[in-house]
Amino acid sequence: MIVAENLAKRFGGVQAVSRVSFTAPDGSITALLGPNGAGKTTTLRMISTLVAPTHGTARVDGLDVGRDALAVRARIGLLSDARGLYGRLTARENVAYYGALRGLAPAAIEASLARLAGVLELTALLDRRTDGFSQGERMKVAIARALVHDPPNVILDEPGNGLDVMTTRNLRDVIRRLRDAGKCVLFSSHVMQEVSALCDQIVIVAKGEVAAHGTAGELLEASGCTNLEDAFVRLSGEAPEP
């Protein structure tokens, strides 16, 4: 479970995030939805301990991101904004490196790799160097790398970016499986369809603040709109009240 309490972040003169609070429960998919520059990535970075909040805090499974950074990281699988792979290493070696860094024994890494490769349809690619991979293939390796230690919390920053239709469908499948396995899944997106097709709970972030949150139905009701896209535009403050 991930809890954000009044998270705020200031970079020099720019207030990237001013007040973000929400709870992402286990066994559920929570989306941070918002336009580019709304503060989604910064919020996720604060939760995954890569950036220290100026105000407020976040807790992952009850652990404070400031005080127990290493323990928090151990309980998170993170697909960060930057998701570069080591091109001279094979897909297997890329994933195994992260497994080893998380303290997994070689046998556990192998077992995990076999499982993830099956789910992500990666098996044929495992022993190839990643520098020749397509964007979708890279994404699969990056996801496998993030999940190698079977973390109870999964944070995905814009996982749909730059993927074709088939890979996107495949990705949705993976995310649903994670939820069904009882994990807390938190992801960010600026794509309406992606969110509505997948999420149990939506947190709309705009200008560094939470503009609205609830299920898709609750958001429609609150905005008085008939479709989610209008609701998003209305609630994120991009359009004037009718």
Partner 1 sequence: MRIPALTVYLKEMRDALRDRRTAIMVLVASILTGPLTLVLVAHFVSGLEKKGSDLKVVVAGEERAPALVNFLQRNDIRIERAPGDYETRVRDGRLDAVIVVPEDFDEHWLSGDGAKLEIVFDDSRADAGPAIRQAERLLRGFNRETGMLRMMARGVSPDLGQPVEIERFNTATPRQKGAFLLFLIPMFALLSPLLGGMTIAIDSTAGERERGSLEPLLGNPVPVAHIVAGKWLAAWTFACAVATLTLAGFVTASVLYAQKQLAAMMAFGAPEFVLFVAMVVPFAAMTSALQMLICTYGRSYREAQTYVSYLATAVSFVPAIVLFSGLKEVPWHLLVPVLGQQAVLSRVVRGDAVGFTDWAVPSLVAATIAAACLVLLVRLLRDERIVFGRS
87 binds partner 1 (CB under 8 A): yes
Minimum distance between the CB of residue 73 and partner 1, rounded to whole angstroms? Answer: 4
User: Which one, 159 or 195, has the nearer CB to partner 1?
Assistant: 159
* Given 76, 205, 228, 231, the residue binding partner 1 (CB under 8 A): 76
Residue type at 159 in one-letter notation: P
Minimal CA–CA distance to 35: which of 240, 237, 242, 241? 237
Residues 39 to 68 in contact with partner 1, rule: CB under 8 A: 45, 48-52
User: Which one, 55 or 86, has the nearer CB to partner 1?
Assistant: 86
* Given 55, 67, 101, 127, the residue binding partner 1 (CB under 8 A): 101
d(CA 200, CA 140): 23
Size of the site for partner 1 (CB under 8 A): 37
Minimal CA–CA distance to 228: which of 236, 238, 217, 237? 217
* Given 20, 65, 78, 199, the residue binding partner 1 (CB under 8 A): 78
d(CA 158, CA 190): 8
84 binds partner 1 (CB under 8 A): yes
112 binds partner 1 (CB under 8 A): no
Residues 149 to 188 in contact with partner 1, rule: CB under 8 A: none
Using CB under 8 A, list all residues that contact partner 1.
11-12, 14, 45, 48-52, 70-71, 73-74, 76, 78-89, 93, 97-98, 100-103, 129, 142, 145-146
